[in-house]
Structure 1
Amino acid sequence: MKIAWRVLLGYFVILALAAFMLGQVFLEQVKPAVRQTAEDTLADTANTLAELASDDLYAGRIAQGGFATHLRALSDRRVGADIWGYEKQGVAYRVIVTDAKGIVLFDSQGKDMGRDNSRWNDVARTLQGKYGARSTREQADDPASTVMWVAAPITHDGRLIGVLSVGKPNRVLQPFITASRNVILTWGLVLLGTALLIGVAMAWWLSRQLGVLRAYAQAVTAGENVPAPRAAAEFGELGHALEVMRERLEGKQYVEEYVHTLTHELKSPLASMKAAAEILEGELSTAERRKFVGHVQTQSARMAEMVDQLLALASVEHRRQLENPQMVDLRAILLDAIGSLEAKALASNVRVDVVPGDPLSVTGDAFLLRQALVNLLDNAIEFSPAGGIVRCAVFAEGESVRVCIDDEGQGIPDYALPRVFERFYSLPRQAGGSRSSGIGLSFVAAIASLHGGHADLVNTSNGARATLTLSC
């Protein structure tokens, strides 16, 4: 499992547990909170009514006096109130008055007249001078039929003469409890869904940042010349550290490889020059001396050319991207490169032709592209026989532009095709000419890669074809 999904899973588990625990706390607190509020209201109501009933109870007319008359009239009163979306039509209070012994003297619903209520907590505790309240089912087999009762003492001249109990069915409170729970559940799910989306976004972002670093590491492992990874926050710092580490390691490896290869390549001309120097120490004719002096000069020039080309190749290979890319006309650059090699082509008796066409522009470095084309043209001229023709063409193909250079030489041996772009790998020239430095094609490949393209060399029926492919 990917690390991003593991983070998301852990985040969601923690979130789900927290949501479950908080949901349970809130949901379990809704019912008690509503009932506590209702009990507080009942306590106020009971004490208020107890004061109003005091005179009638003391006078012995609690069941027939004005107090009883007004309470009985409550059953006919229509409230017609919209309380938080709940339609309240009537008064749900039930009022019971007992004497100092707990015997019912008045019941607003007329049900329990004469009953002994002294055993109920609301009456019993009030008669004892304590706060009295209870919750009792009206129907023993129906849990939803509970009624909350709160009692208050009825006193006259400081003496306890009775108890007034106010009851309110809990089913009247249930709509508010249900509505509150629904609101909590709805918003809880909304918050959970929002948190989940945030978690998914975080996991995607984390996966993307790690993916950038992983792709960079894989490209480096494959030997590709890729730019530094673009990541955010700490991932950006990690990407920068990886890039610095890569540059230092590559720089060390690059120098070691180049020193080793250059040392190997310089052994041959140095050995040749040493042999010529030893011969020059002996007795030689003027013609022989000129021959060996010329040989020393040729080998020293070859060594200088090799060092210069090696420095140019190192400069290109160490670039991660073009410093100042611009739109350039590739056909014009090709014609300029052909013009610079006109003298060499004439000396080799080789004609260079260009297929006519419209200007084709690419984004790149004109100087480097010209150097790459000069190298390809130079190879084509050198491998072409006297009287041969080098044909050049520039054309667009999809989202890229290609330059094809065909010569009429002997082609590339099959064993050499996979290695022609390696550093210092070269083949003999026409008519037994000496080998080149073997750096030119490596230089071309590096420039092509820097422009987001590639270089190819294949055999044709008439010779060889070099192709430089660049992104538009």
Structure 2
Amino acid sequence: MHLGLRLFFGFLVITGLAAFFVMRVFVAEVKPSVREVMEDILVDTANLLAEDAAADLGAMPEGGDLRGTRFAGVVQAYASRPVDAQIWGLNKRHLDLRIYVTDGRGRVVLDAGADLPSADGALGEDYSRWRDVALTLRGEYGARATREVKTDERSSVMYVAAPVRGADGRVMGVLTVAKAQSTVAPFVDRAEHKIVVAGAWLLGLSLLIGVAVTLWTVHAVRQLRRYAQQAGGEPTPGAALVLPPALPGELGELARAMGAMRERLEGRAQREQFVRALTHELKGPLAAIRGAAELLEDPSLNAAERHRFASQVGDQTERLRELVDRLLELSKLESAGQPAHREPVALARLTDRVLADHRAALEQRGLSVRWLQRDDDVTVPADANQLALALSNLLVNAVDFAPHGSTLELDLTRTAERVCWSLRDHGPGVPDYALQHLGERFYATARPGSDRKGSGLGLAIVRQVAALHRGALAITPAQPGLRVELTLPLA
């Protein structure tokens, strides 16, 4: 299973379980909390009405009831009182308290209010065994909850009693206030609905956050994976440095650690590649020098032959010197993280200076230079010496491959953000398979008319200079010839 799916399902399970248990606790606590609040209110109501009923109950004759008394009229007036109340969006259109009073033996002497069992209520019935009455007569707190339909929890009615005391403090009877729990069911249902809706929103938002966190984590891990995969390939000389992805926290520390590891690995691979290529390049000149030296020891050689072999030693020594010089230049450029001295450089005037330095080589091969487009106002922020070195190497390659008496074409154009310097010769070009390798250390093709090859370091130096200046080198066939384009940013 993919990492993203694992993270998402893990987050889903954790969030789902947390939301389920939290919502279950909230929903499970709604009804008990409502019952507690309702019981608390009924306690206050019962004690208040018990004080009001005390006088009429004390004046009631033995075996009588409270019908026709002032308290009975107040209760009947309450029961028939119209009401239209908006309670947090719910309508209350009738009063729903049932009030009954028992004497000291538990006989009901008054039953009025809502939800009466009959026309006269339970008047005259013995309630002495009901918990609310029995406990209150014993001096304890009396309350009960009784279902009208035993199998229906919503038919439960809560009864809360209060003692009715005489002037001497004696308990004369009990006043009970009853309220059906179905009257508060709409409030409970609404609260549960709000909790469920809020829980669903919470779960949905949590899942969205989980998806976002999962996508971010997977994206960061994929960045690290791509960066790690780049460390497995062969390093490209002169390529722009690939920085580790900028990530926060521990992933950022891991990215930087991978960057340091990659630098060590690439440095080792580059050194191994460099040593192999350098060894291969040194074999030819050294073998030629050794062979010439052995032949020069032959006493039978005439003066012309000695001169030829001595010239060969000199040529191969010069080739070795050129190889070492270019290696030093390339090593210096690769160790630099940025141009040494960045300043505005006019590319047209710098090109004129490079052409002047190579005028002798151009005249020797009868080559002319023609500008296709030239913009003398183009300047780029660059190190003038490094840029001159790059242009010089490109010009030397063009001179080596251009036919005698041909023309080199220069072009200097710019766009809103970049400038393009290009040079084209009309030589034989290079095979298609070799195009992608040009610019690699020690990769070179034979010069026209001879088997002599260059070191391949010239274009490697140009690529490195371009990378240091955040530019690029492109080499394309021109039919005939080859075109090299050095692109640099204007800022």
Structure 2 residues not aligned, in runs of 5+: 114-119
User: What residue number does 1:192 align with?
Assistant: 203
2:472 corresponds to: 453
CA displacement, residues 335-378 of structure 1 (integer Å, 9 cap, x when unaligned): 44333322210122111212134355666655444333322221
Q: 1:74 aligns with which of 73, 78, 81?
A: 78
**Counterpart code for 1:53:** A
Provide Cα deviations, 1:253-290, integer angstroms capped at 9, x if missing partner: 22222122212211221222223333444546666555
Where in structure 2 are the equivalents of 1:231-310 lying within 5 Å? 231-281=247-297, 283=299, 289-310=306-327
Distance 1:307 1:252 in 2: 21
Counterpart pick for 1:92 among 91, 96, 112: 96
Matching of residue 122 in structure 1 with residue 132 in structure 2? yes
1:34, distance to aligned residue in structure 2 (A): 0.9
* Contact kept? 2:373, 2:413, Cα under 8 Å: no
Normalised TM-score (structure 2): 0.83
Between the aligned partners of 1:47 and 1:187, the Cα distance in structure 2 is 39
Separation (CA, whole Å) in 1 of partners of 2:351 and 2:137:
115
Q: Is this contact kept in 2: 1:444–1:455, CA < 8 A?
A: no
The residue that corresponds to 1:32 in the other structure is 32
CA distance in 1, matches of 2:360, 2:86: 103
Q: What amino acid maps onto 2:222 in structure 1?
A: G
Q: CA deviation at 1:117?
A: 2.5
- Aligned with residue 185 of structure 2, among 174, 181, 187: 174
1:412–1:146 distance in 2 versus 1, CA, 3 Å: closer
Shift of 1:384: 2.0
User: 2:112 maps to what in 1?
Assistant: 108
Q: Within 5 Å, give how 1:200-219 maps onto structure 2.
A: 200-219=211-230
Distance of 2:340 and 2:225 partners within structure 1: 26
Cα distance in 2 between the residues matched to 1:361 and 1:445: 20
CA RMSD of aligned residues (A): 3.3
2:357 to 321, 334, 340: 340
Q: Does residue 356 in structure 1 map to residue 394 in structure 2? A: no
Q: Equivalents in 1 of 2:489, 2:471: separation in Å?
A: 6
Q: Taking structure 1 as reference, are residues 2 and 360 closer, same or farther at Cα in structure 2, changes over 3 Å only?
A: farther
SS at match of 1:98: strand
> Is the CA contact 1:325–1:365 (under 8 Å) kept in the aligned structure 2?
yes
Shift of 1:47: 2.9
- Residue 49 of structure 1 and its aligned partner are, at CA, apart by 2.5
Tell me the CA shift for residue 193 of structure 1: 3.6
Take 2:456 and 2:463, find their aligned partners in 1: how far apart are those partners?
12
CA distance in 1, matches of 2:74, 2:259: 90
Aligned-residue offset at 1:19: 0.9
Return the letter of the residue paired with 2:135.
Answer: R
Name 2:116's counterpart in structure 1.
none
The alignment of Structure 1 onto Structure 2 pairs a total of residues equal to: 471
1:64 aligns with 2:46: no
Read off the aligned partner of 2:320 and give its amino acid letter.
M
| Residue type at the aligned position of 2:409 | R
1:185-230: CA deviation from partner (whole Å, max 9, x where unpaired): 3433343343333323322332232232223223333446422322
1:108 aligned counterpart, secondary structure? strand
Instruction: Flag the 1:360–1:131 CA change in 2: closer, same or farther, 3 A.
Output: same
TM-score (norm 1): 0.86
The question of whether the paired residues in 1 share the 8 Å contact of 2:366 and 2:404 is answered with: yes
Deviations 1:61-111 (A, max 9, x none): 633333223222223445665544445555432210112332211112442
| Cα distance in 2 for residues equivalent to 1:325 and 1:213 | 33
Work out whether 1:17 is the aligned partner of 2:17: yes
Q: Which of 357-366 and 259-268 deviates more?
A: 357-366
Deviation digits for residues 5-54 of structure 1, max 9, x if unmatched? 42233112211111111111111111111111111221232233333323
Q: Is the 8 A contact 1:131 1:151 kept in 2?
A: yes
Amino acid in the other structure paired with 2:458 = G
| Identity percentage of aligned residues | 41
Work out whether residues 231 and 266 of structure 2, in 8 Å CA contact, stay in contact via their aligned partners in 1.
Answer: no
Whether the aligned pair in 2 keeps the contact of 1:132 and 1:152 (CA below 8 Å) is: yes
Structure 1 residue ranges without an equivalent (≥5): none
